[in-house]
């Protein structure tokens, strides 16, 4: 079965069983018990996260943004808390060659107004040189502030693909939390919605009922059993999921001037 953003099917296999409303409600309420326990455990983990110790970092180190070099402290914008996402960068690559995983995180955090209303600032840091980053930010239409941390050491620079939280006390800056990998998923609301659907994310690692298909199981660059993680984060001009040279990170296709491509143009990368 092939079912990608550009190729849907009206003959899906292994659908959930059909029951009456009362039977569905009973099954739903049974699952709700587990969901509430999951929520309470998440609350307990968040409480433990708030009790983590912190470590002081150099808030005077300079990062480069639209207004040139500025001290990292300025990213707080006068607020006490700051969340940053560290966006990977492929040096010299065109827009379609940049990281699809980082694109999904930055795209889902396009607007920080709710964070700002709560007294938290948000910024994207990247290891790319600013002269390359600036046109990419313009092309994507991002409204959150971006900064290049080329040459800056961890935790402000260094490894990319992380969400990091900082706390400010006057002119002193402290690192309070960091996560990466699937720890970044809370930013991506689309994943949470897909987890609610009967066919899920369509990834091979998911636990599915017997016979339930892996959505998009046949596609360029993957074996027939398919379903590799995040396979739908890149697509071609027809909307078909692929990580081949004709692909772009999915949100790029909504941008003016996003034309079909033949190469990712990657000449090396920085992490």
Secondary structure, 3-state, 131-171: HHHHHHHHHHCCCCCEEECCCCCCCCCCCCCEEEEEEEECC
Residue 170 lies in a domain: yes
Residue 82 lies in a domain: yes
Bridge partners for 166 per DSSP? 82, 175
**CATH value at residue 128:** 3.40.30.10
Rounded to 5°, the CA angle 51-52-53 comes to 115
Host domain of residue 170: 55-185
pLDDT at 69 over 90: yes
Exposed/middle/buried for 121, CB within 10 Å: 0-12, 13-18, 19+? Answer: buried
What are the pLDDT digits (tens) for 137-157? Answer: 999 999 999 999 999 999 999
Residue 198 lies in a domain: no
- pLDDT of amino acid 32: 98
User: What pTM did the predictor assign?
Assistant: 0.89
What are the pLDDT digits (tens) for 187-196? Answer: 999 999 999 9
Q: Which residues contact 228 (CB under 8 A, 6 or more apart)?
A: 203, 204, 222
Alpha carbon distance 90, 268 (integer Å): 6
Residue 225, classed as helix, strand or coil, is coil
Number of domains in the chain: 1
| Two structure tokens written together for 197 | 């659907």
Residue 123 lies in a domain: yes
pLDDT at 247 over 50: yes
């Amino acid at each position: 079965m092939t079912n990608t953003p550009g190729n849907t099917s009206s003959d899906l296999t292994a659908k959930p069983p059909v029951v009456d409303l009362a039977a569905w409600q009973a099954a739903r309420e049974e699952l709700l018990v587990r969901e509430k326990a999951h929520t309470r455990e998440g609350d307990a983990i968040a409480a433990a996260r708030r009790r983590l110790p912190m470590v002081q970092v150099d808030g005077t180190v300079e990062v480069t943004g639209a207004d040139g070099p500025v001290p990292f402290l300025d990213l707080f914008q006068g607020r006490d808390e700051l969340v940053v996402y560290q966006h990977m960068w492929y040096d010299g690559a065109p827009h379609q060659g940049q990281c699809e995983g980082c694109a999904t995180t930055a795209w889902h955090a396009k607007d920080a107004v709710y964070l700002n209303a709560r007294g938290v600032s948000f910024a994207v840091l990247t290891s790319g040189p600013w002269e390359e980053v600036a046109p990419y930010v313009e092309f994507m239409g991002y409204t959150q502030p971006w900064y290049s941390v080329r040459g800056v050491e961890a935790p402000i620079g260094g490894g990319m693909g992380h969400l990091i939280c900082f706390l400010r006390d006057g002119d002193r800056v402290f690192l309070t939390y960091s996560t990466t990998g699937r720890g970044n998923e809370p930013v991506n609301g689309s994943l949470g919605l897909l987890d609610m659907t009967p066919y899920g994310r369509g990834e091979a690692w998911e636990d599915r009922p017997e016979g339930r298909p892996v959505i998009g199981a046949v596609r360029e660059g993957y074996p027939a059993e398919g379903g590799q993680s995040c396979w739908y984060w890149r697509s071609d001009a027809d909307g078909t999921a692929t990580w081949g040279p004709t692909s772009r990170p999915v949100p790029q296709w909504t941008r003016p001037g996003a034309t079909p491509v033949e190469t990712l143009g990657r000449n090396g990368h920085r992490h």
